[in-house]
Structure 1
Amino acid sequence: MDAMTWVGIISDTHGALDARAFAALSDCDHIIHAGDICGPSILRELECIAPVTAVLGNNDFLEYGSAVTRFARLVIDGVRFLVAHYPQDVRITYAGSSALAPGDPIPQVLVHGHTHVPKLETGPEARPASLLICPGSASLPRGGSPRSIAKVQVSKGRILGACVESLGGKPILTWG
């Protein structure tokens, strides 16, 4: 059986890391924070679990050093991710994207935060990527959603599945 990599996605912690979010991400091999971190201690706590890639949100300042910027482009187990806080920053249109330079490879997974509402889109809604995901908010959910995180399962350049789950472990949205 091929090894799989679990990518945990969290956003909008706003300075507080719920113990249930920490527990929900504890089986992840890599963690993405999609902005509104609101304190370097959040990233240090998450780094106790796995390597962390984070982007700045509208409530973040340049206190994280040069490793945390507006966009993150990374490859995990052969799968290309594009991460930004704002939904419009990960959308790729015929005019391009502010997060990609001409000639950059098209990401397979688009990740954003900011809305505090979970989203998992595939097909035409995610194109040209395969998957667009927002984990909702781990601290201040909106729209009747519970506090939540997301996970994406990848292996050898393929997306095997994705889910957004409440901090209580109940699936909210799933794919694959």
Structure 2
Amino acid sequence: MLLGVLSDTHVPSRSRCVPASVLRAFEKVDLILHAGDLTTDKVLDELMAVAPVVAVHGNMCDASVFYLLPEARLVTAGNFTIGLTHGHRGKGQTTPARARLRFVADHVDCVVFGHSHQPTNQEVGGILLFNPGSPTDRRWAAARTYGILRVEEGIEGEILEVKE
């Protein structure tokens, strides 16, 4: 199973739309995960035209998205459970730690999160922590990025740069 992963698209404040190269890359995925800060529901429409979408809201989403999407959810992919959240709730910890803490009571194999715009692909305590970064806003990152998760006998993440 192949999952396309996005976060922090911030449409339309950072970009008019999801970059075309990301949409093309997602044509081959089985499911798209969006870890929040879509900002508007226009992003959902763009992504759903390519593949099924599971998403959560972030701290910058307008009301149309905030009330439509949950703050966190569990996603089953093959034999694995993925926790999906934006990662903005809580204080005094790093974004990866807050995101992981959100699913402490759940048996998850992977936590997908966003908020920091910092790509992360790291296993901690047997759990893959995966932040795809942002495809539209580098913030403090070296590049605009998105992610792919390959779910087979395990979960393997890959961070990819937006090329346009």
Query: For residue 135 of structure 2, what is the aligned residue in structure 1?
Result: 138
1:10 CA drift (Å)? 0.4
Q: 2:120 matched to 1:119?
A: yes
1:144: Cα distance to partner? 4.1
Opposite residue 159 of structure 1, the aligned amino acid is G
1:142 to partner: Cα distance: 2.5
**Residue identity (%):** 26
1:91 aligned counterpart, secondary structure: helix
The counterpart of 2:3, out of the listed 7, 30, 45, is 7
Q: How many residues align?
A: 151
Question: Does the CA contact (< 8 Å) of 1:24 and 1:167 recur in 2?
Answer: no
**TM-score, normalised via structure 2 length:** 0.83
1:39/1:159 Cα in 2 relative to 1: closer, same or farther (>3 Å)? Answer: same
Which residue of structure 1 aligns with residue 46 of structure 2? Answer: 45
Kindly provide the CA deviation profile for residues 45-66 of structure 1, in whole angstroms up to 9, marking residues without a partner as x. 1111211111111101341376
TM-superposed CA distance for 1:134, in Å, is: 0.5
Runs of 4+ in structure 1 over 6 Å off? none
1:87-142 superposed Cα distances (whole Å, 9 cap, x missing partner): 344223xxxx4x45x4x3x11011110111111101xxx2252x111001010012
* Structure 2 gap segments, 5+ residues each: 12-16, 88-94
Cα separation, 2, equivalents of 1:89 and 1:71: 12
Could you tell me which amino acid in structure 2 is paired with residue 166 of structure 1?
A: E
- Provide the C-alpha distance between the structure 2 equivalents of 1:12 and 1:164, rounded to a whole number of angstroms: 14
Deviation string 1:155-174 (CA, Å, 9 cap, x unpaired) is 2xx325220010129xxxxx
Alignment map for 1:1-176 (pairs within 5 Å): 5-15=1-11, 16-64=17-65, 68-86=69-87, 87=95, 88-92=97-101, 97=102, 99=103, 102=105, 104=106, 106-122=107-123, 126-129=124-127, 131-155=128-152, 158-168=153-163
Q: What residue identity is the alignment partner of 1:45?
A: E
Change (3 A) 1:65 1:119: closer
Report if aligned partners of 2:3, 2:30 keep a CA contact under 8 Å in 1. Answer: yes
Please give the TM-score of this superposition, normalised by the length of structure 1.
0.78
Task: Name the structure where helix makes up a greater proportion of residues.
Answer: 2
